[in-house]
Amino acid sequence: MGIGKRITDSTSLASRDGVEEHKVSGQKKEEHQSREKKESKSIVFTPEDPKYELDDIIVPAYIKEKILDVLEYNTSSRIVFEQWGLNKTHRYSKRIGINLYGPPGTGKTMAAHAIAKYLGRKIILVNYADIESKYVGETPKNIRSAFEAAKETNSILFFDEADAILSRRVTNMTNATDVSVNQTRSVMLMLMNEYQDFIIFATNFIENFDPAFMRRISFHIRFDLPDAECRDKLWKLYVPPSMPTDLDFDEITKKYDSISGSDISNAVLAAAFKAARRRMNVVKKELFFDAVEDILHSKHANENKEVTVTKRYVSEDYVKEQLKRQQEVD
């Protein structure tokens, strides 16, 4: 009887433990689901005032001309579509897609802000890192939210690093991720077809764009590295008159011709901090040269993707010996 009672008590205890364990497991599941719900919450896209004007952009004249040509589209749209009747023949062509492409640091983001400023509108900046979600279906949902926010606030929609969203679709789908990528691309195509307003894209890798997106973008403007005239203006812009320096703008402009506006800005900052750290009263021109050289070296290292393989030639006897040893091991 005592043994039976002990067994009953033991069974009852195990049962209680099982219930408690089930409760804990249920609580953990609820907490996990609650956490997932919070993490997958829709993103709020807030319009902001443009930070730059057209006069702030220092680019070669032909690039500035192309930007002005695009802006003329907005000015002349009433004449073209209403007076000349193209609203009947091109009823779905009022979407103005603008793609700004070229090397990094050449002023593409500044230009997007300047276009919005010229049009007297706010801008909504969309980065792929902001809208990408690990949950299936969430990324397309976030993209829809961006378009809706732009419509509701009459803002210019700007997709930075657009190649991440407009890249080629997956043809041989092997997993759920591939399906999700194609779903995102399809939703983006649909939204672009329906949207009848300005959309600006910026990318360093236009070669990654899907042809379907290329056809839906009206204007493609290439941003090249600054020419000599622009480099001179950029050096003078980023080196303030109050900075004590012996820098010769003409010399450094001619000395380095494969740098961007962003490179020049970074070089000035690096030279200034190095001089301050060394307690120098003057930011010597050599510090600017060193800073630019460091930037160019890092760029070269980043672009040099080829791996050098060292070949070692061996004799036939050596090969036979190795094969013999392998056979002995087997």
Domain of residue 70, CATH code: 3.40.50.300
Residue ending a domain, among 172, 194, 222, is 222
Assigned domain for 31 exists: no
Instruction: Clarify whether residues 209 and 291 are in a common domain.
Output: no
216 with 72, same domain?
A: yes
Question: Which of 222, 240, 272 is a domain's end point?
Answer: 222
Residue ending a domain, among 179, 198, 222, is: 222
Per-residue model confidence (pLDDT) at position 328: 55
Q: Are residues 250 and 115 in the same domain?
A: no
Split the chain (330 residues) into runs of 10 and give each run's mean pLDDT.
51 54 57 50 88 95 93 81 82 80 96 96 92 74 94 97 84 60 88 91 94 92 97 97 97 96 97 97 97 94 58 44 52
Query: What pTM did the predictor assign?
Result: 0.76
How far apart are the C-alpha atoms of 233 and 59, rounded to whole Å? 10
Q: What pLDDT does 307 receive?
A: 38
Q: How many other β-carbons are positioned within 10 Å of the β-carbon of residue 204?
A: 17
- Do 200 and 257 reside in the same domain of the chain? no
Q: Which of 295, 127, 271 is nearest to 201 (CA)?
A: 127
Residue 268: which domain range?
228-303
**Do 277 and 200 fall into the same domain?**
no
What number of other Cβ atoms are within 10 A of residue 286's Cβ?
Answer: 11
Residue 24 covered by a domain: no
Do 198 and 265 belong together in one domain? no
Residue pair 269/298 in contact by the 8 Å Cβ criterion: no
